[in-house]
C-alpha cells in the first residue's frame, strides 16, 4: 500500500483533496451541531434576565400602597409571566446541560415552593411589604422581605452567568474547531503545493525542456527525473521514445547517405552514358574512345583500360584506344600477346594476365557486341579491387554502347559507299543521256566531214557539217554546265520549299516561261534524301520543258492525299512528248523512273488532252508508311 501511494501522483493528490474536503466537512458539521446546541441561548439569557426584571417589578408592586386591587391584578399578571418564562426556559436545548438544568430546577423549585406562595399570601394580606428578615413562615407572617427577593435575584444572576459561560464555551469550541480546520487546511495546502512543485512542476518543466530540444532536432536529450509515479513513467516513455527516434533518425540518415550515394552513382552513370552517346553521335573519331576510357576512370573509379578490336577469326586484334602507359618496347597488357583469350569471351570475366619478368595483371574483360556481332573486348584493369554490381552493370552497358557505335559507324561507312556508288551511277546515266549522246552525234559529224575531204562534195557539204558541229558543241557545252549545276545542287537548312523557289526563279530568269509553284507539303514529312530526289526530278522535268516543249507556261505542284502519299506533278502547255521518246531513252525519262524507284514510288509521263505534258510522281514517305497502312485498312 505504501509503494502504491508513493508511486501514484494522482492517488496522493486525490488523498490531499479528500483531506481538505474532510476538514471542511468537519468544520461545517461541528458548526452545525454547535449551532444546534446554542440555538436559543441568546433568548435564554434574555428570558433569564427578564426573570430578574419581573422579580423586581413584583417587589415594586408589592411595596406600592396605591390602588391595591389594580396592583394585585398586575402582580398576578407578573407572576403568570414569570411562571411562563421560567417554564419555557426548561424546554431550550441549552438548559439540557447538567449544570444549567440543575440550577434551573433549583430556581424553579424555589419559585414554586417559596417565592410564589409568599407573594400570593402578601397579596391576600393587603399590607405593604416591609424590609424585614424573612422567617421562612410566610403563611403566618404575611410579609415578604426584600432580602429574599435579592437572594432569589442573585440566584437568577448566577443562572444567567452560567448561560453566558456555556454559550461562550461553545463559541470558543467552535472557534477552536474553525481555527484548527483552517490551520490543518493551510498545512495540507502547503504540503500539496510543495509536492506539486517538487513532484509535478519541476519534472514537467524538465519534460517540456526536453520536448523543445527534441523538437529542435536534439534527439540525444534525456530527462533525469526518475520516479515510479505518472510523470516518472512519462519521463521514462519520453526517454525510450527519444532513443527510438534517435535510432530511427540515425538509420534514416544512413539510408539517406546510401540513397545519396546510389543517386550519385546513377548520376555518374547517366553522365557517363550521356557524354559517351553525345560524342558518338557528334563524331565517330577514334579519340572519342580514348576520352571514354578517361571518363570510365573518372566516374567509375576503375582503370586504366583499353579497347581491343578483333578480326573475323578472333585470332588477332588491334588496340583501338588505351589510356595505359606501358614501358617502351613492351606490348600493352599482353606480353606475349594472347588475343584469342580475350576475343573469344561470351560474357564478362576476370582474367589474370601473366607477363614474363613482371607481375601478373588482373583485368576485367567485357565483350563488345551488337546485334549478334562480336567486335572485340573492353579491358579494365581492376588490380586488387572488388568490382561492385553497379560498376559491372555500367561497364557492360558501356561495352554495349561501344558495340552499337562501332556497328553504326560501319553501317554509316557502308551507306556512304552505297550512296557514292549510287551517285556515280546517276552521274553516269546523266552523262550518258545528255553529254555522251551529244558527243556521239559530234563524232558522227566529224566522221562525215573527214569522209568528204578530197571529194567533189566537200565544198558543198562541209559548211553545213561544220555548222552542225558548232551547234552540237554549244549544246554539249550547255548541257555540261547544267549537269555541273545539278551535281553541285544542295538543300540547306531552309528546306525543300526554299530550294524549289530558287530553282523556279533560276529557270524563269534564264528562259521566257512562266512557272507557278503550289507546294502543300511541309519539309518535316520528308528526309534529306527524298528532298534531293524530288528536287532533281523537278529540275529534270523543267529542263525538258524549256528544251523541247516550246511552252510558255508551266506549273509545279506538291500535295498529300488522304492516304499520306506525296504527289509531285509538273505540267506545261507545250507540244507534248513523242510516243517513241522513251524508246529512244531521251529527255532523261529513264533517270526519272530510277529516282522514283529509289523513293519506292512511281512516275508517270503522259500528254495532256488539251496539249502539253504532265510528269506525275507518287510515293509514300518512310515516316508516314504506318499511317498509310492504317488508313488503307480502315477503308
Of 356, 391, 362, 393, nearest to 379 by C-alpha is: 362
Of 155, 157, 156, 131, nearest to 143 by C-alpha is: 131
Question: Taking the domain 493-635, which CATH number applies?
Answer: 3.30.565.10
What are the distances in angstroms from CA 194 to CA 14, 189, 199, 228? 15, 8, 8, 18
Separation CA 558–CA 206 (nearest Å): 87
CATH fold, domain 268-414, is Beta-Lactamase (3.30.450)
SS3 of residue 612 by DSSP: coil
Pairing of β 373-381 and β 514-519: unpaired
**The three grid cell numbers given for residue 208, joined into one nine-digit string:** 517540456
Mean pLDDT for 576-581 is: 67
Please state the φ and ψ torsions of residue 518, each to the nearest 5 degrees. -130, 95
Report the run of H or E that residue 272 belongs to, with start and end: helix 230-282
With a CB cutoff of 8 Å and minimum separation 6, the contacts of 357 are none
Of 478, 611, 604, nearest to 554 by C-alpha is: 611
SS3 of residue 340 by DSSP: helix
Of 84, 94, 98, 110, nearest to 45 by C-alpha is: 94
pLDDT value for 15: 81
**The three grid cell numbers given for residue 136, joined into one nine-digit string:** 421562612
Q: Is the pLDDT of residue 264 over 80?
A: yes
Region label for 39, one of left (φ > 0), alpha (ψ between -120 and 50) or beta (otherwise): beta
Separation CA 567–CA 558 (nearest Å): 6
**The three grid cell numbers given for residue 40, joined into one nine-digit string:** 436559543
DSSP per-residue codes, 515-536: EEEEE---GGGS-HHHHHHHHH
Separation CA 241–CA 207 (nearest Å): 13
With a CB cutoff of 8 Å and minimum separation 6, the contacts of 283 are none
Please state the φ and ψ torsions of residue 350, each to the nearest 5 degrees. -95, 125
Mean pLDDT for 485-491 is: 62
pLDDT value for 580: 55
Q: Is the pLDDT of residue 479 over 80?
A: no
pLDDT value for 569: 95
Q: Is the pLDDT of residue 632 over 50?
A: no
pLDDT value for 214: 82
Mean pLDDT for 462-484 is: 74
Separation CA 28–CA 177 (nearest Å): 10
DSSP state of 388: P
Residue 204 CB coordination number (10 Å): 15
pLDDT value for 228: 72
- List the single range of 67-71, 124-128, 450-454, 489-493 with lowest mean pLDDT: 124-128
pLDDT value for 142: 37
Average per-residue pLDDT for the chain: 77
Terminal alpha carbon distance of the chain: 97
Question: Taking the domain 2-192, which CATH number applies?
Answer: 1.20.1420
Residue 43 in contact with residue 92, Cβ under 8 Å? yes
**What percent of the chain clears pLDDT 70, i.e. is strictly above it?**
78
* Axis-axis angle for helices 230-282, 202-215 (nearest 10): 0
The answer to whether the predicted template modeling score (pTM) of the entire model surpasses 0.95 is no
Q: Is the pLDDT of residue 567 over 90?
A: yes
Strand order in the sheet with 553-560: 514-519, 553-560, 566-572, 613-619, 602-607
* Confidence at 297, pLDDT banded by 50, 70, 90: confident
Residue 419 in contact with residue 317, Cβ under 8 Å? no
Mean pLDDT for 339-350 is: 74
Domain extents in the chain: 2-192, 268-414, 493-635
pLDDT value for 557: 94
pLDDT value for 599: 86
* Confidence at 130, pLDDT banded by 50, 70, 90: very low
Grid cell 556521239 — which residue? Answer: 440
pLDDT value for 601: 92
DSSP per-residue codes, 418-433: HHHHHHHHHHHHHIII
Amino acid at each position: 500500500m505504501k509503494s502504491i501511494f508513493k508511486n501514484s501522483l494522482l492517488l496522493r493528490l486525490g488523498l490531499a483533496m479528500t483531506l481538505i474536503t474532510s476538514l471542511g466537512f468537519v468544520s461545517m458539521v461541528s458548526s452545525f451541531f454547535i449551532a444546534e446546541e446554542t440555538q436559543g441561548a441568546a433568548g435564554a439569557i434574555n428570558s433569564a434576565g427578564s426573570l430578574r426584571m419581573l422579580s423586581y417589578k413584583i417587589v415594586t408592586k408589592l411595596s406600592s400602597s396605591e390602588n391595591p386591587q389594580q396592583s394585585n391584578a398586575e402582580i398576578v399578571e407578573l407572576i403568570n409571566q414569570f411562571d411562563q418564562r421560567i417554564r419555557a426556559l426548561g424546554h431550550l436545548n441549552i438548559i439540557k446541560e447538567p449544570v444549567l438544568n440543575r440550577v434551573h430546577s433549583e430556581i424553579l423549585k424555589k419559585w414554586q415552593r417559596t417565592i410564589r406562595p409568599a407573594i400570593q399570601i402578601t397579596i391576600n394580606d393587603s399590607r405593604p411589604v416591609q424590609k424585614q428578615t424573612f422567617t421562612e413562615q410566610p403563611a403566618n407572617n404575611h410579609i415578604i422581605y426584600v432580602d429574599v427577593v435579592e437572594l432569589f435575584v442573585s440566584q437568577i444572576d448566577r443562572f444567567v452567568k452560567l448561560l453566558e459561560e456555556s454559550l461562550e464555551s461553545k463559541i470558543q469550541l467552535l472557534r477552536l474547531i474553525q481555527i484548527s480546520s483552517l490551520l490543518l487546511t493551510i498545512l495540507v495546502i502547503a504540503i500539496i503545493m510543495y509536492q506539486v512543485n517538487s513532484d509535478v512542476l519541476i519534472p514537467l518543466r524538465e519534460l517540456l525542456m526536453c520536448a523543445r530540444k527534441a523538437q529542435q532536432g536534439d534527439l540525444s536529450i534525456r530527462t533525469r527525473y526518475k520516479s515510479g509515479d505518472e510523470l516518472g513513467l512519462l519521463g521514462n516513455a519520453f526517454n525510450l521514445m527519444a532513443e527510438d527516434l534517435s535510432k530511427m533518425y540515425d538509420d534514416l540518415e544512413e539510408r539517406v547517405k546510401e540513397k545519396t550515394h546510389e543517386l550519385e552513382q546513377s548520376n555518374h552513370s547517366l553522365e557517363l552514358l550521356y557524354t559517351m552517346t553525345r560524342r558518338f553521335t557528334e563524331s565517330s573519331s577514334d579519340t572519342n574512345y580514348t576520352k571514354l576510357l578517361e571518363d570510365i576512370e573518372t566516374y567509375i573509379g576503375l582503370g586504366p583500360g583499353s579497347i581491343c578490336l578483333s578480326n573475323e577469326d578472333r585470332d588477332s586484334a588491334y588496340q583501338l584506344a588505351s589510356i595505359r602507359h606501358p614501358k617502351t618496347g613492351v606490348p600493352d597488357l599482353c606480353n606475349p600477346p594472347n588475343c584469342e583469350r580475350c576475343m573469344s569471351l561470351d560474357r564478362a570475366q576476370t582474367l589474370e594476365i601473366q607477363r614474363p619478368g613482371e607481375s601478373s595483371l588482373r583485368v576485367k574483360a567485357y565483350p563488345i557486341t551488337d546485334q549478334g556481332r562480336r567486335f572485340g573486348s573492353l579491358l579494365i584493369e581492376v588490380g586488387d579491387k572488388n568490382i561492385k554490381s553497379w560498376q559491372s552493370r555500367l561497364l557492360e552497358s558501356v561495352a554495349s554502347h561501344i558495340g552499337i557505335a562501332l556497328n553504326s559507324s560501319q553501317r554509316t561507312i557502308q551507306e556512304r559507299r552505297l550512296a557514292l556508288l549510287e551517285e556515280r551511277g546517276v552521274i553516269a546515266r546523266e552523262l550518258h543521256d545528255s553529254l555522251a549522246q551529244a558527243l556521239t552525234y559530234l563524232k558522227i559529224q566529224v566522221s562525215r566531214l573527214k569522209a568528204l575531204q578530197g571529194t567533189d562534195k566537200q565544198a558543198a557539204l562541209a559548211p553545213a557539217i561544220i555548222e552542225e558541229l558548232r551547234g552540237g558543241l554549244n549544246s554539249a557545252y550547255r548541257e555540261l554546265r547544267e549537269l555541273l549545276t545539278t551535281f553541285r545542287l544542295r538543300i540547306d537548312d531552309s528546306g525543300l520549299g526554299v530550294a524549289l523557289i530558287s530553282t523556279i526563279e533560276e529557270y524563269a530568269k534564264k528562259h521566257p516561261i512562266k512557272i507557278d509553284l503550289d507546294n502543300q507539303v511541309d519539309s518535316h514529312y520528308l528526309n534529306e534524301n527524298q528532298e534531293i530526289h524530288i528536287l532533281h526530278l523537278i529540275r529534270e522535268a523543267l529542263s525538258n520543258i524549256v528544251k523541247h516543249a516550246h511552252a510558255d507556261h508551266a506549273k509545279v505542284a506538291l500535295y498529300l492525299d488522304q492516304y499520306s502519299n506525296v504527289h509531285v506533278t509538273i505540267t506545261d502547255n507545250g507540244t507534248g512528248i513523242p510516243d517513241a521518246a522513251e524508246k529512244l531513252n531521251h529527255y532523261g525519262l529513264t533517270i526519272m523512273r530510277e529516282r522514283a524507284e529509289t523513293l519506292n514510288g512511281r512516275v508517270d509521263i503522259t500528254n495532256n488532252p488539251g496539249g502539253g505534258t504532265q510528269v506525275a510522281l507518287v510515293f509514300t514517305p518512310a515516316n508516314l508508311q504506318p499511317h498509310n497502312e492504317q488508313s488503307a485498312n480502315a477503308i
